[in-house]
Structure 1
Amino acid sequence: MDIRQLLGLPELLEVRSLVCVQPHPDDNEVGAGGTLLTLAQRGCRIVFVTVTDGRWGAEDPTVSAQDLIAVRRGERDAAGQMIGVAVQLELGFEDGGDYEERSVMEALIPILRKEKPELVMTVDPWMPYESHPDHQKTGRAVAAAVLAAGHIQFPEAGAPYGVPQVAFYGSSYPNTWVDVTATWETKMAAIFAHKSQFDNTEWPLLSQYFADQAAVAFRNHAPMPGVVSSGYAEAFKVLSRRQLHFFPSAVYL
């Protein structure tokens, strides 16, 4: 039996409160937009935390950093409304900047202790070929914050709270799949709401790639493979807090 079942932890779609931490203003929609909308429709309270300001996410060198930060904040809020986000928080680290992973962890701990989510979601920093420093630092900082939030360390950040579990999207080792066929079109619209990132000649290719990956996930991991011919699924690596430290078999779960 999975340790999460032994601990009595809810399944992903049963959680009632969620903190979803993204490196940049568009990552949550790309990685988990369909699942997040499904959760919101079921009454889950969703809090977004954006780690960096997204200032370098433009192809036009004439756009100033401050202007792009404002544009991306507006896009983030609009996309979040489409998938049912209740609260938007931002940590304000510089996109691609020389900030420390520990600083991100320390900024997250008071948020986790205040919000007391049943689950935290973020990017998987252990994807074998992930080379973006913001993604690496964000994912690792979230995992470290989930551990640290339950300890007595950092008393100035509030009373300890043990986050029960964490879900990583964009994982090469998923163990949980969510049928997002019913929410797929809204997910894609929420992604495209980040027009500064996706309203360009690459969108047809990217949107097709997203659809192809989700269709493969659905076909391979539907409850009854072969019965339903088409649909979309999002994949996650879901682990309990206890599996984030000295748990060698976690990669195989």
Structure 2
Amino acid sequence: MDIRKLLGLPDLLDVRSVVCVQPHPDDNEVGAAGTLLALAERGCKIVFVTVTDGGAGVPNLTMSREEIVEIRREERLNAGKLLGVSEQLELGFPDAGQYTEQEVVQRLIPILREHRPELVMTVDPWMPYEAHPDHIKTGHAVVHAMLFSGNNATQRGAGEPYTVPQIAFYASSHPNTYIDVTSYWERKLSAILAHKSQFENAEWPLLSNFFAYQAQQLYQAGHMEARADEVRYAEAFKLLSVRQLHFFPTALYS
């Protein structure tokens, strides 16, 4: 049974509004820039929400944390312009800090109720071996906010209740949706490279080759057709309805 079709939910590329919640500046670009470019071309409203300030992302002892945060903010804004992002919101929690998942949930619920997106996108917190606490807290906070933003008993005075219909996890080990991003690949790399503090270094040739290899493997995993002489790229997501986020054991295999 395809519960998403049963509920009449649109395909990923057909949604008209999306809120993309990332742990750090650059996560949305690495995980989903090609798909976001495709959505923007279709007129989708894209809102970025960045949970942390990125202040732990540059191991440079000559700069203060405040300087690093400002650099990463400018990089994030520049990358968003390349992707056609409509609005950028920052929660400002300390990168790798001691904030709690519940604090993030309380900040996200009013955002979901205000923007009322057809889809939320974020990192998959259940990816095996994911060790970064910011990624785990962010992913969990997003699904908790989805469950409770439609329930006025959970957070009063934070706008009219609204239930987000579905979620797309990138960086998922159990994807069920593959998007051909071949025509957007170079622009995706440009958006990633807009985060110069993270990627403009000696490791970029190796890292970009890894991104390309990974995307080619995802294209094959999605069983999309290509000529033998073609090089094609895909991004992959675990796409679930909100109903599959509670008491739904088969969501893993959906």
Normalising by structure 2, report the TM-score.
0.97
C-alpha separation between the residues in 1 aligned to 2:120 and 2:88? 15
SS in 2 for 1:157: coil
Residue aligning to 2:240: 239
SS in 1 for 2:49: strand
Q: Residues 213 and 160 from structure 1, CA distance in 2 versus in 1: closer, same or farther, beyond 3 angstroms?
A: same
5 Å-filtered alignment, 1:138-177, equals 138-152=138-152, 153-177=154-178
Residues 56-65 or 31-40, more deviating: 56-65
Tell me if structure 2 keeps the 8 A contact 1:15–1:119: yes
- Residue 68 of structure 1 aligns with an amino acid whose one-letter code is I
C-alpha separation between the residues in 2 aligned to 1:226 and 1:155? 55
Residue aligning to 1:212: 213
- Residue 239 of structure 2 aligns with an amino acid whose one-letter code is V
C-alpha separation between the residues in 2 aligned to 1:140 and 1:248? 17
| 1:16 CA displacement | 0.3
Identity of aligned residues (%): 62
Tell me if structure 2 keeps the 8 A contact 1:55–1:66: yes
| 1:221 CA displacement | 1.4
Structure 1 segments (4+ residues) deviating >3 Å: 222-229
Tell me if structure 2 keeps the 8 A contact 1:120–1:167: yes
Residue aligning to 1:197: 198
Residue aligning to 1:18: 18
Residue aligning to 2:66: 66
| 1:230 CA displacement | 2.3
5 Å-filtered alignment, 1:1-40, equals 1-40=1-40
C-alpha separation between the residues in 1 aligned to 2:225 and 2:219? 10
C-alpha separation between the residues in 2 aligned to 1:150 and 1:205? 44
Q: Which runs of no fewer than 5 residues in structure 2 stay unpaired?
A: none
Tell me if structure 1 keeps the 8 A contact 2:18–2:45: yes
Q: Deviations over 1:82-136 (max 9, x none)?
A: 0110000000100000000010011000000000000000000100010000000
C-alpha separation between the residues in 1 aligned to 2:253 and 2:223? 20
| 1:205 CA displacement | 1.1
C-alpha separation between the residues in 2 aligned to 1:24 and 1:112? 19
| 1:149 CA displacement | 0.6
Tell me if structure 1 keeps the 8 A contact 2:150–2:163: yes
Provide the aligned C-alpha RMSD in A.
1.1
- Residue 162 of structure 1 aligns with an amino acid whose one-letter code is T
Q: Which runs of no fewer than 5 residues in structure 1 stay unpaired?
A: none
C-alpha separation between the residues in 2 aligned to 1:173 and 1:225? 23
Q: Deviations over 1:141-172 (max 9, x none)?
A: 00100111111221211111010000000000
C-alpha separation between the residues in 2 aligned to 1:166 and 1:228? 35
| 1:184 CA displacement | 0.7
Q: Deviations over 1:39-87 (max 9, x none)?
A: 0000000000000000011121111100011100000000000011000
Tell me if structure 2 keeps the 8 A contact 1:22–1:50: yes
- Residue 114 of structure 2 aligns with an amino acid whose one-letter code is K
C-alpha separation between the residues in 2 aligned to 1:203 and 1:182? 21
Normalising by structure 1, report the TM-score.
0.98
- Residue 165 of structure 1 aligns with an amino acid whose one-letter code is Q
